[in-house]
Structure 1
Amino acid sequence: MATASSLSRLFLGKNLCGRAATISNTGFVKFYSVAPSYENIKIDVVGAKKNVGLIQLYRPKALNALCKPLFQELGKAVKDFDSDSTIAAIIITGNEKAFAAGADIKEMQNNTYSSNQRQHFLQEWEDISNCGKPIIAAVNGFALGGGCELAMLCDIIYAGEKAKFGQPEINIGTIPGAGGTQRLPRYVGKSKAMEIVLTGNFIDAQEAEKMGLVSRVFPVEKLLEETIKLAERIGTHSPLIVKMAKQSVNQAYETTLRAGLQYEKSMFYGTFATEDRKEGMTAFIEKRPPNFKNE
């Protein structure tokens, strides 16, 4: 098992906001701000090749409740990482207690139907869904309401063994509004989704993995390390082809099987117009590692 000191060396290096970072003995990043740019999130670039963008939700006193300023900052950070050619994948995480324990209820308490329409309430979520690079959620603690929806908005979910997921909006007289009633059935099926949404009950990490909501479950102290390994593995491939693969998988949720198969075939054909496809197959035949150039 890696020590805290060895993990510290892994996480030190290139930094987007003048922050140095080390690993605590719980496996979470400790950020030391030199020139802070955000109030509600912390960001860094991590991994052995410094090609993984890390975003930590940072409202610890509010269990990372998703207020509008937080999501505006999150959207900007995701767009910045997405446009950075040195970044292969993005990780969104929280802390030991909470990934995000829901939306900020006090912030939305006095909203009205007309104000939601005028202000395009929750529009900031589009910044996350429009990201071309893979986004991985590393979930420890509570991922409830908007927190669960944010995790589902990511492409892959890894969870710590003590994580809790749920859509408890029914308990406060409303329903999920950022994908909970739409993405959850696609992950776990209609019956389970109905049970979760209509009761407001929580599910633990082990049940979430069994249902297909979560890809893998790890000890709390290993979660971030394992998530970074996954991001680094993705980073060994052509960024161009990874983006095409992500688009193709997402298309499965947007269309019929027949139309999806046609879309996949078109994308597959499209890979043959890239230099990275040629390099990948040539390297395989020559039994050497490929040298992808994102072309």
Structure 2
Amino acid sequence: MKYESIQFERRGAGAWIILDSPKNMNSVSSTMLGELESVLKECEADSSVKAVVLTGTGSAFCAGADLKNVLSSLNHSEPGTKDFLDMFDEVCGLLRKMPKPVIAAINGLALAGGLELVMCCDIVYAAESAKIGDAHSNFGVFPGAGGAAVLPKKIGLNRAKYLLFSGDFLSAAEMERFGLVNKVVADGQLVEEVESFVEKLAAKSPLVLRRMKEVANASVDQTQDAALRHEMLHLRQHVRSYDLAEGLKAFTEKRKPEFKGY
């Protein structure tokens, strides 16, 4: 299928979603959101996809929303239809709830809505030259996909307020120290590093990764006791799975396990 604002590629066990509107610094448009929704649903349904990678072309990962498109959508949407904000919220929900790992590969600027897309991902790789910031305040725009609501949980309240209020862009290395970025790599090594990580994930049980992601995500808004109960519930279910039996058998037989995801 041909897309207008993204590329969608299968590379081994990974599904690569590449934001591809470099003249607009990969700004998010309604068209892009519709295409993202389609491919994310495809990735979720395809059991051969073991991990999803989100990256960009050109000098930006994503410089935020296309503000002209946002205003047009909000001013001209028909009653009962989705506007830009609805669509962005749905795409972010698909990323957060994807039952397999989602990796952000930040190739350049990740600002405002671009940062919010990054925060929806499970693992974040960033090129050395990447710059990351909120930037909403620079244009009097209020965030709506996690800038103010999720960023404090990711990097701490005071650091989040600094990014939100100042609109400054920080380096990938600084954001790694803040805890948002997992790994900073040389600019020319980003794709190779992420592909290697996808291969590592592909060897794991997709069932255990899905359950780990669900429990870890839920734990952020739970008490420790509630999170532990949630974990035990999943463990009780997991002990009856094929993948656990296969993993233990492979360990005993000193071979690599062959997981099936159930």
Please state which band the TM-score falls in when normalised by the shorter chain: over 0.9
Letter in 1 for 2:184: V
Per the alignment, residue 88 of structure 1 pairs with 50
State the alpha-carbon separation in 2 of the partners of residues 87 and 111 from structure 1: 33
Deviation at 1:127, TM superposition (A): 2.6
Deviation at 1:109, TM superposition (A): 3.0
State the alpha-carbon separation in 1 of the partners of residues 73 and 246 from structure 2: 54
Q: Cα 1:267–1:216, aligned 2, differ >3 Å: closer, same or farther?
A: same
Q: Scaled by the length of structure 1, what TM-score is found? A: 0.82
Q: Cα 1:68–1:114, aligned 2, differ >3 Å: closer, same or farther?
A: closer
State the alpha-carbon separation in 2 of the partners of residues 117 and 192 from structure 1: 39
Query: Are positions 1:129 and 2:91 aligned together?
Result: no
After TM superposition, the structure 1 stretch with the greater mean CA deviation from structure 2, 127-136 or 149-158, is 127-136
Residue among 66, 70, 76 paired with 2:38: 76
Letter in 2 for 1:123: D
Matched ranges for 1:1-295 at <5 A: 17=1, 37-46=2-11, 50-109=12-71, 119=82, 121=85, 122-125=88-91, 126-295=93-262
* 1:160-192 deviation per Cα after TM superposition (whole angstroms, max 9, x unaligned): 001111111112112211111122111110010
Deviation at 1:111, TM superposition (A): 6.2
State the alpha-carbon separation in 2 of the partners of residues 292 and 258 from structure 1: 31
How many residue pairs are counted as aligned between the two chains? 257
Residues 75, 128 of structure 1: 8 Å contact kept: no
Q: Cα 1:115–1:169, aligned 2, differ >3 Å: closer, same or farther?
A: farther
The secondary structure found in structure 1 opposite 2:52 is strand
State the alpha-carbon separation in 2 of the partners of residues 69 and 54 from structure 1: 18
Deviation at 1:110, TM superposition (A): 5.1
Q: Cα 1:90–1:111, aligned 2, differ >3 Å: closer, same or farther?
A: closer
Q: Scaled by the length of structure 2, what TM-score is found? A: 0.92
Letter in 2 for 1:249: A
State the alpha-carbon separation in 2 of the partners of residues 199 and 272 from structure 1: 49
The secondary structure found in structure 2 opposite 1:225 is helix
State the alpha-carbon separation in 2 of the partners of residues 277 and 269 from structure 1: 12
Deviation at 1:286, TM superposition (A): 2.2
* 1:77-102 deviation per Cα after TM superposition (whole angstroms, max 9, x unaligned): 11101111111001010024000011
State the alpha-carbon separation in 1 of the partners of residues 55 and 72 from structure 2: 29
State the superposition RMSD in angstroms. Answer: 1.9
Identity %: 36
After TM superposition, the structure 1 stretch with the greater mean CA deviation from structure 2, 283-292 or 84-93, is 283-292
Q: Cα 1:113–1:106, aligned 2, differ >3 Å: closer, same or farther?
A: closer
After TM superposition, the structure 1 stretch with the greater mean CA deviation from structure 2, 167-176 or 145-154, is 167-176
State the alpha-carbon separation in 2 of the partners of residues 283 and 71 from structure 1: 42
* 1:136-181 deviation per Cα after TM superposition (whole angstroms, max 9, x unaligned): 0000110000001001111111000011111111121122111111
State the alpha-carbon separation in 2 of the partners of residues 41 and 115 from structure 1: 23
State the alpha-carbon separation in 2 of the partners of residues 145 and 183 from structure 1: 13
Deviation at 1:116, TM superposition (A): 11
State the alpha-carbon separation in 2 of the partners of residues 123 and 116 from structure 1: 18
Deviation at 1:113, TM superposition (A): 9.3
